[in-house]
Amino acid sequence: MSELTELTAVRLLDGYRRGEFGPVEVTRAALERAEAVQPEVNAFVRLLADDALERAAASQERWRRGEPCGLLDGVPVTVKDILLLRGAPTLKGSRTIDPAAGRWDEDAPAVARLREHGAVFLGKTTTPEFGWKGVTDSPLSGVTRNPRDPARTAGGSSGGAAAAVALGAGPLALGTDGGGSVRIPAAFCGVFGLKPSYGRVPLYPASAFGTLAHVGPLTRDVADAALMMDVISGADSRDWSSLGPASGSFSEGLAGGVRGLRVAYSASLGGQVRVDAEVASAVRRGVERLAGLGAYVEEVDPDFSDPVEAFHTLWFAGAARVVQHLTQGQRELLDPGLREICGAGVRYSALDYLAAVDVRMDLGRRMGRFHDVYDLLVTPTVPVTAFEAGVEVPRRSGCRRWTGWTPFTYPFNMTQQPAASVPVGVDGGGLPIGLQVVGARHRDDLVLRAAQALQGAPGL
C-alpha cells in the first residue's frame, strides 16, 4: 500500500488502464498515509474519507467497464482550504468563519473541472489565515511543518498542499499563489509548483487580493502538473478575467526541450537579494544543466528595483478588505500579524493604491520588454531554505514581514507572469532548494517545457 503513495498521477492512470491496481486501493493508501503523517506535519484541515472512497468506487467501476470519465479519473487530489469544495466548509484558516453558516454547495472553478474529470478529493489542506503570509500557521489549525524536518516550516501559504504531496498523501494538490504561495512551499518541501499566468486557471469567488491571486498545481513532477493544467485551465463564466482555452495540450508540449531557448539567469536581481551560498550553488548548477541541454544562457538581471512597497500597498489593502465586515470581537480572533497589516491597509488612500498600480504597470512593461529578448528568466525561488516553524520570518534575518525573504516571487504576481519552482537539490541539512523559472505572460508552455527538461537532467 505504501508503494502506491509514491506513484505519480501519470503512473497511477497507467496502472488503472493496465488493471495493476484500482482507485479504491490507491485512495485507501493515500488516506492511510494522510492520517499517519497528520499528527506530526499537520497538512490537513479535514479529511473526507467517506466521500473519497465513494468517488473512488465509482471510478473503479468506470475503469472496469473501460469508460473513464476524464483525464484524472480515480486520482487522489487535495484542495487548499481557500478554495470552495462542495460538501466541505471552506474556513480559510480563520476562527471568524462559522462552518455551520454556509451552504457549502458550490465548487471553485478549478475544483469543478477536477470533479468533472473524475478526481478523488481526499480533503482540504491548511493555509495561514486568508492566505496572508508565506508560511503556514493559523489561529484555526495551528502550525504546518516541513516534511523533511518537522521543526521547520513547510512555507506558505499553500504549505499544507506542498507537504501533502511531498509525503504521499495524494499526488496532486490545488493551491493558490498571491505572492509566492505555491512556489515558496514547493521550494521548501522539495516538490514542483506552478503559478500559471493570471486568468489561465479561473478563480471564483474573486480574491480580495485582486489580480495578484493565481490558482495552480503542486505535484511530484512536471508531467503531473501539465496534466493537471490540461484539466483546470479554461474559461469560467463566474470569472470575467479568465482566459479562453489554451492553444494546445500542456502535456503534449513537454517534450520540446530547451535547445535554442534564450535564458536569462539572475542570481540576485542585480545584487538586491542576499542568497544563501548553498542555494546559490544549487541554482547555478541547475542553470548550467539548462545550458548543457542547448539553451543559450546569459547572466543578466531584469530591469527593475524591488517593488515591495507597492506590493505592500496592494496586499495590505486587500487584507483590510477581507476583514472589513468583521465585528471588533471577531477581529480579536485574527492572527496578530494579519491584524497588523490590515491596520496598515485601511490607512491607504485611493491615490496610494493607484500609485501602487502605476508601479505594477511599469514593472509589467519592463518585464514585457525583457521577454522581447529572453524567453525565460531563471532565479532562485527563495534565497533561503526552510527555517523554524511557527514564525513569519527567519530569526535574526532582520526581516519585518514575510516579503523580506521572498523577493524573487511576489514581483511576478504583480506582472501576472507564469512562474514555477523546480527542485534542484538540498542543502547540507537535507532541506530542499528550488529554482524558479519565469516566462512571459501566457507562455506557461515554455515554463513547463524548461522545468521538464531540467527535471530530467542528470544529477537532479
For residue 104, what pLDDT is reported? 95
What CA–CA distance (Å, rounded) separates 253 from 449?
A: 7
Let me know whether 247 and 261 are in one domain.
no
Q: What percent of the chain has pLDDT over 90?
A: 97
On whether both 113 and 154 belong to a single domain, the answer is yes
Number of domains present in the structure of the chain: 2
Domain span including residue 370: 255-308+346-455
User: Is residue 325 a part of any domain in this protein?
Assistant: no
The CATH number assigned to the domain holding 56 equals: 3.90.1300.10
pLDDT of 88-120, one tens digit each?
Answer: 999 999 999 999 988 899 999 999 999 999 999
In a domain, 359, yes or no: yes
For the sheet containing 192-195, what is the strand order? 44-47, 120-125, 76-80, 172-177, 214-219, 192-195, 419-426, 432-439, 376-380, 262-265, 296-299
Q: Where does a domain end: 222, 253, 284?
A: 253
- 56 shares a domain with 25: yes
Portion of the chain with pLDDT greater than 70, in percent: 99
Q: Is 199 within the bounds of a domain?
A: yes
Query: Would residue 19 count as lying in a domain?
Result: yes
Distance (Å, whole) CA 411 – CA 390: 25
For 395-428, write each residue's pLDDT tens digit: 989 999 999 999 999 999 999 999 999 999 999 9
Q: What is the mean pLDDT of residues 338-345?
A: 98
Instruction: Name the active-site residue from 138, 157, 207, 233.
Output: 157
Pair 151, 265 in one domain? no
Q: Based on the domain organization, do 267 and 237 belong to the same domain? A: no
In a domain, 331, yes or no: no
Task: Say which of 59, 80, 94, 141 is annotated catalytic.
Answer: 80
Residue 1: band (very low, low, confident or very high) from pLDDT cuts 50, 70, 90:
low
Asked if pLDDT for residue 155 goes beyond 90, the answer is yes
Q: Is the pLDDT of residue 460 over 70?
A: no
Whether residues 147 and 228 share a domain: the answer is yes
Of the listed 94, 181, 242, 251, which one is catalytic?
181
Residues 224, 268 within the same domain: no
Q: What is this structure's pTM?
A: 0.97
Say if residue 260 is in the same domain as residue 353: yes
Mean pLDDT computed over every residue of the chain: 97
SS3 labels along the chain:
CHHHHHCCHHHHHHHHHHCCCCHHHHHHHHHHHHHHHHHHHCCEEEECHHHHHHHHHHHHHHHHHCCCCCCCCCCEEEEECCCCECCECCCCCCCCCCCCCCCCCCCCHHHHHHHHCCCEEEEEECCCHHHCCCCCEECCCEECECCCCCCEECCCCCHHHHHHHHCCCCCEEEEEECCCCCHHHHHHHCCEEEECCCCCCCCCCCCCCHHHCEEEEEECCHHHHHHHHHHHCCCCCCCCCCCCCCCCCCCHHHHHCCCCCEEEECCCCCCCCCCCHHHHHHHHHHHHHHHHCCCEEEECCCCCCCCHHHHHHHHHHHHHHHCCCCCHHHHCCCCHHHHHHHHHHCCCCHHHHHHHHHHHHHHHHHHHHHHHHCCEEEEECCCCCCCECCCCCCCCCCCCCHHHHCCCCCHHHHCCCCEEEEEEEECCCCCEEEEEEEECCCCHHHHHHHHHHHHCCCCC
80 included as an active-site residue: yes
pLDDT computed for residue 87 by the predictor: 96
* Per-residue pLDDT tens over the stretch 45-70: 999 999 999 999 999 999 999 999 99
Same domain, 400 and 299: yes
Tell me: do 109 and 159 sit in the same domain: yes
Could you tell me if residue 324 is inside a domain?
Answer: no
**For residue 110, is it within any domain?**
yes
pLDDT band for 458, please (50, 70, 90 cuts): low
94 is catalytic: no
Residues 393/399, Cβ–Cβ less than 8 Å: yes
Q: Mean per-residue pLDDT for 164-190?
A: 98
Last residue of a domain, one of 253, 274, 298: 253
Specify whether 181 is catalytic.
Answer: yes
Same domain? For 218 and 359 the reply is no
* pLDDT value for 456: 78
The last residue of one of the domains, among 235, 253, 271, is 253
194 shares a domain with 292: no
Residue 363 in any domain: the answer is yes
Q: Is beta strand 214-219 parallel, antiparallel or unpaired with respect to 120-125?
A: unpaired
Which pLDDT score, from 0 to 100, does residue 102 have?
A: 84
